Structure 1
Amino acid sequence: MNTLKAKINRFAVFFLIVFGIFSLGGCHWFNAPKHRKAYFPSEVTAMESLNTPFNDYNMDIQILFHEMDVIFSSDRNSLPGSLQYDLIGITVSFAWDQQEGTLSMQEVSSSSAGVQMAKNLAQSTHTSFNERGPYSFGTPESGSYLLFSRDDQGFFTVYAKKFQIPYSVSTPQEIFPGESSFRILSESGNEMYPCLYGKAFEKVNNLGSRNRAEKLLLASDHEGSFNIYEIDLPENQEVMNFLQSEGLKQGKKLGINTEFQDQAPFISKSRMVFASDRPGGFGGFDLYYSDFDGQNWSMPKNMGPEINTEFDEFRPILDPAPYYENSILLFSSNRPGGLGGFDLYFVGVDKF
């Protein structure tokens, strides 16, 4: 009998708690989410928490889940009367409101090692010269790298900064043990915007990329105007060992190039996005995409007036965003309506 009374009493307490929550919170506590599927906006949206009245562009990101590290170039630290670009690292978060069906983005403010990683990594590259075009990737064999270009040799040269995940090390010297530079195609001219790709390669995060990279792309003007070049990566040699080895590498100019400026390539899966001032666009630099069929790159297509303007759109980054119904395109533009100079933007695009 006492056992039965105890069960009844526990049920009564449980009922009162639930009833109280229901009464205080209304029906929302029991409501199913109205918008389970998350979308990036179809209209170009400024990354307001990252932009300043200065020039903010040349972005690199880690693959998007909820939080992602963003590293980009900015002249916000320039002294009066000068124009110097440094790499800036910030962690941002995207949040989808399942009740309202809206997306918000904000900078993550935290002193944790993970959140400070991008900031500290970017700061470790600062010099009195210009740093642009960041691209990060990881390899299971030799750790993680941030590639970027610096103009300390009279033109932009690719640098590699090796770094470690901060949870397993104790000092800044262990996290960022140094950097090295290397010429790839020529001893002269600007070499910028390196990126990797392969049949199954995916740029994932600092912990490592999925599958082996087979080729490297970069933009170079050593033959005059900027063109996009492709370099084969040997199967029997780790990527960074090959790039840092002595001697120039053999590169092939892609068939998608024109006699105009073709710049800032980035590849996600089998799709390349890049910037070009070729005729037929909307003005200045426009964003284009091309798909790889396993043998060749398709004829580039302009991303259209929903993204491009009569001003400059530059350094596109494409991410599949697996938890969203569409993919995200991030880029920089000096269009009117921003905070000043180049600003950072994002927009939802169809899955590819």
Structure 2
Amino acid sequence: MNRQRSTIKILAPILSLLIGSSCIFDDSSGYRYDRGSLPKTPVNLSDFNSEYDDYNSTAPSLGELIPLCFSTNRNSRGGEFDIIYMPLNVNFNRDSGILKVTNRYTNWEVFRDDYEVIKAGLDRIKTPGNEFGPNLVVEYDIEGYDFTLLYSTDITGNAEINFVTNKMRDGFSEPEPVGFLNSEFDDMYPTLGSGNSVIYFCSNRKGAHFDIYSVPVDTGTDIESLLTGSPTNRVSRDSILSSNSDDTCPFVLGEKMVFASNRPGGYGGYDLYYSNFENGRWGDPVNFGETINSEMDEYRPILVDEGVSPDQAMMLFSSDRPGGAGGFDLYFVGVEY
């Protein structure tokens, strides 16, 4: 496969889409395009992929430079999975209408030292087992950036949810389990709901398949106290989001949740679904359709507020569909938000 950088590979398909949907001259700013747009069909993130399996990403929104962490078995040559970091640079040129997605800092070089410390945290969590489902929580104050990474590891047998943080300290803490989320079964893919008031995750604690669970938490405490505390509310299975099949990899941005499921009615293997939070509850899950899903597996979706389109979010996910670098590759697509 010709492994050119995505700055070259994605220009042709995206340029025509942007011109068709965004070619509106903005008299107030002097730019040719007054808004950006994201592609409606998945684009391979070739800058980030390898011949091995690359998936399980997390990317909290920090404008157009996004600290992207994802699981891959490239370093073990197809063996165990570790979590690695790369910068995700999303740039829409309002003069040319070209969208570039690269793994280089370029115009964001000033943030390199701030974000490269994430690698020290990832070194801290590396084990001979598998690390999956990274969720990076970013906080900023006058002293700089603090990072808290939630993830799962199966080093003790069953997968359990752990975290590390560099908040209020030099360097990263030792890995610590999030006790109130874990069970004797597999517990994975933690994500914080709107306002950090709820933690969602998936578990097979009730049987042979994975369901989506949640627990309300105290929003009046800092992230480390929240993760090491003992909530008064109990963990419960979400009967709307869960099915009699595997429902896994939940991720929440604002009032929208995305997840993967192999429930009946899909297009093949695992498909990607979404649910909107309205009137105090999650709506019935909706399949993203054949434009995004394929006859192969689509897995571990996340949503990113990438700062390009006012009515879309960037959804990153993994798929083993044909045409990639090998194994599971990372892709991105624009979805309504």
- For the pair 1:324 / 2:322, whether they are aligned, the reply is no
Question: SS where residue 227 of structure 2 aligns?
Answer: helix
Question: SS where residue 229 of structure 1 aligns?
Answer: strand
Using the TM superposition, give the Cα deviation of residue 295 of structure 1 relative to its aligned residue in structure 2, in angstroms: 2.0
Instruction: Check whether the contact 2:216–2:231 (CA below 8 A) recurs between aligned residues.
Output: no
Higher-Rg structure is 1
Q: Provide TM-score, normalisation by structure 2.
A: 0.81
Change (3 A) 1:318 1:186: closer
Using the TM superposition, give the Cα deviation of residue 323 of structure 1 relative to its aligned residue in structure 2, in angstroms: 4.1
Instruction: Check whether the contact 1:185–1:250 (CA below 8 A) recurs between aligned residues.
Output: no
Letter in 2 for 1:219: C
- For the pair 1:96 / 2:80, whether they are aligned, the reply is no
Report Cα offsets for 1:180-234 as digits up to 9, x if no partner.
Answer: 1233355311110001113xx2xxxxxxxxxxx2111000011121000011113
Give 2:245's match in structure 1, choosing from 260, 263, 268: 260
Report Cα offsets for 1:99-145 as digits up to 9, x if no partner.
Answer: 33111111115694124233333233212111110002146899541
Letter in 2 for 1:77: N
Letter in 1 for 2:210: F
- For the pair 1:105 / 2:76, whether they are aligned, the reply is no
Could you say which residue in structure 2 is the equivalent of 1:188?
A: 184
CA distance in 2, matches of 1:240, 1:117: 18
Question: SS where residue 278 of structure 2 aligns?
Answer: coil
Question: SS where residue 175 of structure 1 aligns?
Answer: coil
Give 1:241's match in structure 2, choosing from 225, 242, 256: 225
Instruction: Map residues 209-288 of structure 1 onto 2, 5 A cutoff.
Output: 213-224=196-207, 225-234=209-218, 237-245=221-229, 250-255=234-239, 256-288=241-273
CA distance in 1, matches of 2:67, 2:181: 30
Instruction: Check whether the contact 1:108–1:115 (CA below 8 A) recurs between aligned residues.
Output: no
CA distance in 1, matches of 2:186, 2:121: 23
Instruction: Map residues 46-57 of structure 1 onto 2, 5 A cutoff.
Output: 46-57=44-55
Letter in 1 for 2:127: T
Using the TM superposition, give the Cα deviation of residue 163 of structure 1 relative to its aligned residue in structure 2, in angstroms: 1.8
Give 2:148's match in structure 1, choosing from 131, 140, 145: 145
Alignment size in residue pairs: 299
Letter in 1 for 2:31: P
Change (3 A) 1:280 1:162: same
CA distance in 2, matches of 1:247, 1:269: 22
CA distance in 1, matches of 2:119, 2:88: 11
CA distance in 2, matches of 1:97, 1:247: 46
Change (3 A) 1:220 1:248: farther
Could you say which residue in structure 1 is the equivalent of 2:33?
A: 35
Q: Provide TM-score, normalisation by structure 1.
A: 0.78
Change (3 A) 1:101 1:222: same
CA distance in 2, matches of 1:115, 1:162: 14
CA distance in 2, matches of 1:41, 1:235: 36
Change (3 A) 1:115 1:296: closer
Letter in 2 for 1:134: P
Report Cα offsets for 1:231-268 as digits up to 9, x if no partner.
Answer: 11135654533432469972111122111000000011
Give 1:163's match in structure 2, choosing from 166, 177, 186: 166
What fraction of aligned residue pairs are identical, expressed as a percent? 30
CA distance in 1, matches of 2:104, 2:140: 28
Question: SS where residue 108 of structure 1 aligns?
Answer: coil
Letter in 2 for 1:271: K
Report Cα offsets for 1:305-339 as digits up to 9, x if no partner.
Answer: 11000111111111233442322111111111100
Moved more, 240-249 or 320-329: 240-249
- For the pair 1:338 / 2:324, whether they are aligned, the reply is yes
Give 1:303's match in structure 2, choosing from 288, 291, 309: 288
Instruction: Map residues 117-128 of structure 1 onto 2, 5 A cutoff.
Output: 117-128=117-128
Instruction: Check whether the contact 1:183–1:248 (CA below 8 A) recurs between aligned residues.
Output: no
Could you say which residue in structure 2 is the equivalent of 1:70?
A: 68
Give 1:85's match in structure 2, choosing from 81, 89, 94: 81
Structure 2: give runs of 5+ residues left out of the alignment.
1-28
Question: SS where residue 124 of structure 1 aligns?
Answer: helix
RMSD: 2.6
Letter in 2 for 1:328: M
CA distance in 1, matches of 2:260, 2:309: 25
Report Cα offsets for 1:40-74 as digits up to 9, x if no partner.
Answer: 22221111110000000000002052211100000
CA distance in 2, matches of 1:242, 1:146: 13
Instruction: Check whether the contact 2:320–2:326 (CA below 8 A) recurs between aligned residues.
Output: yes
Change (3 A) 1:34 1:293: same
